Structure 1
Amino acid sequence: MATDTPSAPPAPPTPVHVLLPQIPPALVIGVGASLLYVGISKAADRLRDVLWTTLPDALGIGGYSSLWMIVMLTATGIAVGLVVWKVYGHAGPDPASMGLGGSPLPPGVVPGLLAASMLALAGGVSLGPENPIIAANIALAYWLGRKVAPQAPAAAWVALASSATIGALFGTPVAAALVISEALVQRPGQGSLWDRLFAPLTAAGAGALTTRLVDHPSFETSLPPVTHPGWGDLLAALVIATLAALFGLLGCYAFPHVHRAFGRLRHPMVMLPLGGLVLGLLGALGGPLTLFKGLEEVKQLTSNVGGWSSGDLAKLAAVKLVALVIAASCGFRGGRIFPAVFIGVAFGLMAQALVPEIPPAVAVSAGVLGILLATTRQGWVSLFVAAVLASSTSIIALLCLASLPAWLVVTGRPQLELEPSGASLR
């Protein structure tokens, strides 16, 4: 006769007197992480205005002419190369192996890392701010935290800084909760999930609220919402997400080979200027929409649905994917999520241009979902960003189902991040 296998007892709840003292440091780190992110972003925006508007106007040339894009991206490569070469800490480790988090860097590395990131953001490089800002906030939070509470585990400061920065980046603590919960599932510990999320969620909420009060970020697009999705919409989401995932994997497979090619040049004053030149040529080919991190450019794309041909959108997606791989391979400091979102939006709109019966919100959200799954392997964040861009809660069920075949395509495959050895991270 079969007997029931006894189940493991549930983890005991964390006492309130343990949780309450976690609130003050979480709030401080949340506000501080947000202010650092907003400050770097504002500084990069000001420098971008000077480089792409004020300076070319003073010279009497077009700010986004092909010649200026080539000159500006090459100059950005020289400037970042000088920082990587000469500034203490060399702007941190190889950015190709940096993800959303990681071990704390020495605090002395932070100024060079932030300077290199700000120059890349302002100069038009196809990378976002997320990886360097998270790494900087982790380094600072860990350094200060160890001075104030040396008995606290290092992982606590890393989790607080990561959550706070992700909350600040997306303007909501939801994305941070999803990322941290994925990490916690992989690292079982004491206490329930919500007990372990308590302090990170506090930090993420403080970071998100601070960013909204100071900077008013928005991921909203002008896409018409889908209120009653049907079977045709589900089929479209399944196909587009899967094809977008396959498209994203092209960049993932090319990434280690391109990185290895630039690595043979060895010196940052060769790698980065050459990478900047290639990015400038790609910008001249794809146009100014393929420059920068891609968030504002996404809004331009989605504000003109139907005004782009499928060929134009295919070119935008392809050029941006190549630019992302080049930028992440040659040593520019920056993150890969925001440019990947642009690629997904362009891919989705291309599909919608080919089949106009597909609602734009379905096409765009499915395209973003597939690209992010391929490049980041962060399932919850991919679903979250895709749903936010769709501006429709009714589409979430479609996206959950569409993620399944896309995940089967990408799981076990290379992603757009490398091991420290240079091998593909899977």
Structure 2
Amino acid sequence: MATDHAPPAPSPPTHEGPLRILLPQILPALVVGVLGSLLFLGISTLAEEFQHVLWDDLPDALGIGGFSSLWMIVMLTATGIAVGLVIWKIPGHAGPDPASEGLDEAPLPPMVVPGLLLAAALALAGGISLGPENPIIAANVSLAYWIGRKAQPSLPGAAWVALASAATIGALFGTPVAAALVLSEALSARPGHGSLWDRLLAPLTAASAAAMTTQLLAEPSFAMGLPPLTDPDYGDVLAALVIASVAAAFGLLCCYLFPYVHAAFHRLRHPMVMLPVGGLVLGLLGAVGGHLTLFKGLEETKELTSSIGSWSSGELAKFAVVKLVALLVAASAGFRGGRIFPAVFIGAAFGLFVQALVPEVHPAVAVSSAVLGVLLATTRQGWISLFTGAVLAASPAMLALLCLASLPAWLIVTGRPQLQLDKQGNSLR
């Protein structure tokens, strides 16, 4: 006997109106944005003040040159000892091995945050070739996730993670555009309801609040003083394509070497051995490359680009190679920090090296294209690489050139080892 199985009646739609979903997210987004920016500014200010003490006041009091080879070796080694102590003794051990952590990891337990921020501040002040982005994002995500879920349980945990990530990126770059680009890249790969702009509204609000807070309190600037490109020609197109591709290949050297250097440091096992040895190596590199190859690299990039024509090709090549090795060592030895700002310096030095060899290449084309290539290799973040290259050039005409230059550069880096490892120490691809 046949039995009819009628399909169940469709359930009535339960989707709430967009306004009822989006409006309750605005106030949390504003709060997370402002507080995320304040945390970033607080750690940055603390690190800068401590940097002045270590690199200006203390050597002056001792009658030693602040950037003498001896002082750089002593300070970087001491920084390794200090960060090693934090990782060894502070609860939470300053988080997991940063070699296996990206910008979008799961929230850390709140107990990890103090040690992580302290380790990052010491590394920034001590001259380690890493930026603040990874530790600050991790700290903001952790605090927003654990506090936000208790304060407003109606918002899912993923929403707090997105707000904190967007806020930190907005604060770091002083504009919400970078956060919107990064999040659009992430959200496009995730299933979700509503339009992309519905999903971006709250994070973009957090990024805008963070960027405005940073602008009001600190007036950040990525302007490098490069001469603007006003009328690009065929030579500029060719130069951008070639420089971005060669710079991407140069940046990949760091990625290929990463698992081997990381394994070598981790054979030392204890943080009070790994970090001091890493600091000593970084000090020796600083003695070779000079003070411009120390620290996160943003102010040093401005100093580099403000004196175009005064550096020889040999000096610029030395800056690029030493900074690349310093980034590799710092990331391998366990120092807490990000890779974007050092990669910008590497790209700028590489671009100016090319421009010194071929003076006909426009400086904005050389620097922006090389920064694009190195960032694509070391971050695999297409939008942030394009955005950073365009901001450095401060020239609308460069945007089309960079979009073209990103195509062969991306073909070179995609599927290749990344500057990030899995938990077993193998390269991610």
TM range (shorter): over 0.9
- In 1: Cα distance, 2:154 partner to 2:29 partner: 16
Of 357, 367, 373 in structure 2, the residue corresponding to residue 370 of structure 1 is 373
Name the TM-score, length of structure 1 as normaliser: 0.96
Of 418, 422, 426 in structure 2, the residue corresponding to residue 423 of structure 1 is 426
Q: What's the secondary structure of 2:93's corresponding residue?
A: helix
| 2:351 matches 1:351 | no
Q: CA deviation at 1:146?
A: 1.1
Any runs of at least 4 consecutive aligned residues in structure 1 with deviations exceeding 3 A, and if so which?
none
- In 1: Cα distance, 2:233 partner to 2:313 partner: 24
Q: CA deviation at 1:14?
A: 5.4
CA 1:59 to 1:383, structure 2 compared with 1: closer, same or farther past 3 Å?
same
Of 161, 171, 174 in structure 2, the residue corresponding to residue 171 of structure 1 is 174
Opposite residue 340 of structure 1, the aligned amino acid is A
Opposite residue 163 of structure 2, the aligned amino acid is L
CA 1:341 to 1:271, structure 2 compared with 1: closer, same or farther past 3 Å?
same
Q: Hey, what does 1:227 align to over in structure 2?
A: 230
| 2:188 matches 1:185 | yes
| 2:21 matches 1:18 | yes
CA contact (8 A) 1:101 1:138 kept: no
Q: What's the secondary structure of 1:101's corresponding residue?
A: coil
Q: What's the secondary structure of 1:103's corresponding residue?
A: coil
Matches within 5 A, 1:252-401: 252-401=255-404
- In 2: Cα distance, 1:138 partner to 1:421 partner: 25
- In 1: Cα distance, 2:57 partner to 2:68 partner: 14
Matches within 5 A, 1:198-209: 198-209=201-212
Q: Hey, what does 1:35 align to over in structure 2?
A: 38
Q: CA deviation at 1:423?
A: 1.1
Q: Hey, what does 2:248 align to over in structure 1?
A: 245
CA contact (8 A) 1:13 1:192 kept: no
- In 2: Cα distance, 1:333 partner to 1:406 partner: 28
Opposite residue 54 of structure 1, the aligned amino acid is D
Opposite residue 358 of structure 1, the aligned amino acid is V
Deviations 1:92-123 (A, max 9, x none): 01011121121000111100000000000000
- In 2: Cα distance, 1:189 partner to 1:279 partner: 45
- In 2: Cα distance, 1:19 partner to 1:153 partner: 13
- In 2: Cα distance, 1:141 partner to 1:421 partner: 29
Q: Hey, what does 1:194 align to over in structure 2?
A: 197
- In 2: Cα distance, 1:164 partner to 1:287 partner: 34
CA 1:166 to 1:14, structure 2 compared with 1: closer, same or farther past 3 Å?
farther
Q: Hey, what does 1:117 align to over in structure 2?
A: 120
Q: Hey, what does 2:142 align to over in structure 1?
A: 139
- In 2: Cα distance, 1:256 partner to 1:176 partner: 29
Q: CA deviation at 1:315?
A: 0.5
Deviations 1:40-88 (A, max 9, x none): 0000000000000000000001000000000000000000000000000
Q: CA deviation at 1:152?
A: 2.4
Question: Of the two, which has the highest radius of gyration?
Answer: 2
Q: Hey, what does 1:104 align to over in structure 2?
A: 107
- In 1: Cα distance, 2:186 partner to 2:16 partner: 20
Q: CA deviation at 1:13?
A: 9.4
Opposite residue 332 of structure 2, the aligned amino acid is S
- In 2: Cα distance, 1:13 partner to 1:290 partner: 54
- In 2: Cα distance, 1:332 partner to 1:14 partner: 47
- In 1: Cα distance, 2:397 partner to 2:17 partner: 36
| Residue segments in structure 1 that go unaligned for 5+ positions in a row | 1-11
CA contact (8 A) 1:69 1:283 kept: yes
How many residue pairs match? The answer is: 415
Name the TM-score, length of structure 2 as normaliser: 0.96
Deviations 1:130-166 (A, max 9, x none): 0000000000000111111224221111100000000
Opposite residue 84 of structure 1, the aligned amino acid is I
Q: CA RMSD in A?
A: 0.9
Q: What's the secondary structure of 1:91's corresponding residue?
A: coil
Q: Hey, what does 1:56 align to over in structure 2?
A: 59
- In 2: Cα distance, 1:355 partner to 1:170 partner: 31
Of 384, 390, 405 in structure 2, the residue corresponding to residue 402 of structure 1 is 405
| Residue segments in structure 2 that go unaligned for 5+ positions in a row | 1-14
Opposite residue 101 of structure 2, the aligned amino acid is M
- In 2: Cα distance, 1:157 partner to 1:120 partner: 28
Deviations 1:158-188 (A, max 9, x none): 1000000000000000000011001001112
